[in-house]
Structure 1
């Protein structure tokens, strides 16, 4: 009888280990530019569009405001973003990159390439993995 509850039979376990390993590979690269991994994700969103609401950032990153608010406060303390309440609706908080935050993008440009090198896997394999993960994530919707 095949025991389906053995750890080596689980799909989730290698994915969990991979996620931990990838974040560990990011750590020294992000430490060099003064960001944590969650802060880096927020900055990626803001580098695409310099000003967005907390709600929009949360949706893009699948983070709730309880997680996002302290993270954004720390980014503001680092003078990378400015948080301002909307004049039309004070419940809406806008997040805008500062010049320092925008310039940090230059220091982060090399990170994706360094990550590919650190993972020691072909771009094609990584692209296939990403596409499969996205397919699985989208199938839940």
Structure 2
């Protein structure tokens, strides 16, 4: 029995899965040097872009699951990369703020995007821009 629509080589989802796994493997040695996992790196990039924000805003920026975010923040707090504290305006809301060690980490990480882009020698900047647009459409449609 064959169903052509079920052939693995015709599936967009499998291509995204393979690309995601390969990309995370490419990031791993670069992030190991910073003692970060990829999800922790995503949180740090969001905080380097905008520090001193609520956990809710961080969840929206990163699209990381709330339960996973709690674990990530605890781990990063134990590494002294950030602090989590109650908001001055509303004690029920938690705010995340980088420590000096967390801010310094940005200097160490600044070459990572370029190193990752070098891992794609057959993809130029226009291709990357188009890929970002297509993936944004995929995420928009699926969410």
TM bin (shorter chain): over 0.9
Please report the TM-score for the alignment, with normalisation by the length of structure 2: 0.91
For residue 131 of structure 1, what is the aligned residue in structure 2? 133
d(CA) in 1 for partners of 2:108, 2:78:
19
Tell me which residue corresponds to 2:21: 20
How far is the alpha carbon of 1:21 from its aligned partner? 0.6
Structure 2 residues without counterparts, runs of 5 or longer: none
Q: Summarize deviations over 1:24-55 as a string: whole Å, max 9, x none.
A: 10100111111110000000000011111111
- Within 5 Å, give how 1:42-81 maps onto structure 2: 42-81=43-82
RMSD: 1.5
Alpha-carbon distance, 1:64 to partner: 2.8
Counting matched residue pairs gives 141
Deviates more, 1:62-71 or 1:25-34: 62-71
Aligned match of 1:86: 87
Q: Residues of 2 paired with 1:58 and 1:65: CA distance?
A: 7
Unaligned segments of structure 1, at least 5 residues: none
Q: TM-score, normalised by structure 1?
A: 0.93
